[in-house]
Amino acid sequence: MNRAAGILLPITSLPSKYGIGCFSQSAYDFVDWLKEAGQTYWQILPLGPTSYGDSPYQSFSTFAGNPYFISLETLIEEGVLTKAECDKADFGKTENDIDYEKMYINRYPLLRKAYERSDISKNAEYQKFVEENNWWLSDYALFMAVKERFEGKPWTEWAEDIRLRWSNAMDYYRRELYFDIEFQQYLQFQFFRQWKKLREYANDKGIQIVGDIPIYVAMDSADAWAHPELFQLDEENVPTAVAGCPPDGFSADGQLWGNPLYRWEYHKQTGYDWWITRLWFCFQMYDVVRIDHFRGFDEYYSIPYGEETAVNGHWEKGPGIELFRTMERRLGKHEVIAEDLGYVTDSVRQLVRDSGFPGMKVLEFAFDSRDSGSASDYFPHNFIENSVAYTGTHDNETLVGWFHSIPKKDLQMVRDYLCDQYTPEKQLYKPLISLVMRSISKTCIIPIQDYLGYDNSCRINKPSTLGTNWRWRIQKKELSSALQKEILAVTKRYGRMNWN
């Protein structure tokens, strides 16, 4: 594996005409732009359909794709929508922001109209797609159709017969909601057809896609509804314990995520079939897979269901290396990144080493004056070759926002480490990017906002908050040739060029 570089930019953040980044021409243009900038990787966020809060880490399905990513321009070309219809829809007026409420209200009616005009049931390609993906698509499409019938309520609040999947109720809703189910299948057909075309285009240009797999599924998901045996649920499919993080210096109450926890003993008995299938599916979707919250495979934090905070949780043992040994035996070797951030114990470090997967090194975590001067895994001089280096991730402040918010002592640590007391603060992001790019890490991925020198108004996500996350979009004019040349120069300077 050669030294390489990439850029982190979610699909949602692409420039686009219709309110949200998607698989439109702008995505292809960005691939071309990456190629000319000497990049090898395009890292994105999970592609699943999002629920309340719009987080890609809380999805209605671990297998389905987000219908928002379907290119309306492509549907216009197919003749199932008109340009006038799409232009008339109100997706918001701010080019660098996503209005998810308007997306929901105005995009789905257009997609429904496209379906109704498509005569899709007679499409042989569609029929093949449904047949090949029926193992997950049947449950997902029914789940989404029934959810709409119950006015969007979580499945835990549905009528008992369908909540518990009684056979007569399943048959009834499949008949009653036939066209709503077919509509959901049509959306998935369009999503995967368009994604496959975009990924193949990227690969032909020498660009590899780094995808992202959340460790947990959402409670309100087709996965939890259709396969309660996989999770720590009782006979009424109510969780007995849920996921989160313990209290720490940043949160006195910890974090209560609320995701159902896995019944790992059951998974072990089945040879980890569901997890192996999930990983296989991701390896079909992406060239490299980043596994979120990797430490949860070593130990996971279990919070009794009904608790209002994470204070009364405790640690339980996860499957450990056995899961990944099974994966390699059944699927072969694949490119994986272990998201090993946060509170990392010696056993987590050992799990990462045993797996052989590169871990993550985030520069922003290195500079903390409270650390009494002890060496940090996140200082570039301590990086190892088998790692992926970042300035920050989608969960971090932008570089500029970060060094505007940290204490003066920490900012002085940054300058001392750089041996740079003179670069103006507003330009300090440039030597910090260079610091990461020249590290020994085989791979280096930089969020596009850091290359642009943007502040926290362009931040992707602030964990444990709602309302302002996952909304930022880049504008086409910001992906300039000048920026491209600057990125190309630093990539070439530190031996990370994509020569394909």
Convert the pLDDT of each residue in 437-489 to its tens digit: 999 999 999 999 999 999 999 999 998 788 899 999 999 999 999 999 999 99
Q: How far is the first Cα of the chain from the last one, in angstroms, to the nearest whole number?
A: 14
Q: What is the pLDDT of residue 500?
A: 83
What residues does 302 pair with on adjacent strands?
Answer: 243, 314
d(CA 441, CA 432): 15
d(CA 138, CA 289): 25
Q: What is the pLDDT of residue 326?
A: 98
Interior CA angle at 290 toward 285 and 291, to 5°? 105
* Per-residue pLDDT at 247 exceeds 90: no
* Per-residue pLDDT at 373 exceeds 60: no
Dihedral angle computed from the Cα positions of residues 397, 403, 409 and 413, in that order, rounded to the nearest 10 degrees: 100
Confidence label for 372 from pLDDT (cuts 50, 70 and 90): very low
Confidence label for 338 from pLDDT (cuts 50, 70 and 90): very high
- Identify the CATH number of the domain in which residue 428 sits: 3.20.20.80
Confidence label for 252 from pLDDT (cuts 50, 70 and 90): confident
What percent of the chain is predicted at pLDDT more than 90?
91
Confidence label for 343 from pLDDT (cuts 50, 70 and 90): confident
Q: What is the pLDDT of residue 371?
A: 61
Give the chain's domain count: 1
Residue 475 structure tokens:
């504008």
Q: Are 365 and 387 in contact (CB under 8 A)?
A: no
Residues 6 or more apart in contact with residue 169 via CB below 8 angstroms: 159, 161, 162
Does residue 236 lie within any of the structural domains? no
Residues identified as active-site:
292, 339, 395
Q: What is the pLDDT of residue 249?
A: 65
Does residue 271 lie within any of the structural domains? no
Does residue 275 lie within any of the structural domains? no
Q: What is the pLDDT of residues 399-435, one digit of tens each?
A: 999 999 999 999 999 999 999 999 998 899 999 999 9
Q: Are 117 and 80 in contact (CB under 8 A)?
A: yes
Q: Which of 21-30, 40-49, 463-472 has the lowest mean pLDDT?
A: 463-472
Q: Are 388 and 337 in contact (CB under 8 A)?
A: yes
* Per-residue pLDDT at 375 exceeds 90: no
What residues does 468 pair with on adjacent strands?
Answer: none
Q: What is the pLDDT of residues 75-107, one digit of tens each?
A: 999 999 999 999 999 999 899 999 999 999 999
Does residue 276 lie within any of the structural domains? no
Closest CA to 392 of 30, 2, 7: 7
Mean pLDDT for the stretch of residues 320-342: 96
Total residue length of the chain: 500
Q: What is the pLDDT of residue 102?
A: 95
| Domain hosting residue 189, numbered range | 4-226+359-493
Q: What is the pLDDT of residues 137-174, one digit of tens each?
A: 999 999 999 999 999 999 999 999 999 999 999 999 99
Does residue 326 lie within any of the structural domains? no
Does residue 234 lie within any of the structural domains? no
* Per-residue pLDDT at 31 exceeds 70: yes
Does residue 340 lie within any of the structural domains? no
Task: Pick left, alpha or beta for residue 464 (phi over 0 → left; psi -120 to 50 → alpha; otherwise beta).
Answer: left
Q: What is the pLDDT of residues 179-214, one digit of tens each?
A: 999 999 999 999 999 999 999 999 999 999 999 999
Average pLDDT, the chain: 95
Does residue 267 lie within any of the structural domains? no
What percent of the chain is predicted at pLDDT more than 70?
98
Per-residue CA distances from 287 to 62, 151, 167, 346, 469 (Å)? 18, 37, 39, 29, 27
b/e per residue, 368-386, with b = 16+ CB within 10 A? beeeeeeeebbbbeebeeb
d(CA 77, CA 232): 46
User: Helix, strand or coil for residue 111?
Assistant: helix
Taking every pair of C-alpha atoms in the chain, what is the biggest distance, in angstroms? 73
Residues 6 or more apart in contact with residue 215 via CB below 8 angstroms: 291, 292, 293, 294, 296, 297
* Per-residue pLDDT at 1 exceeds 70: no
In this structure, the number of other CB atoms found within 10 A of the CB of residue 12 comes to: 26
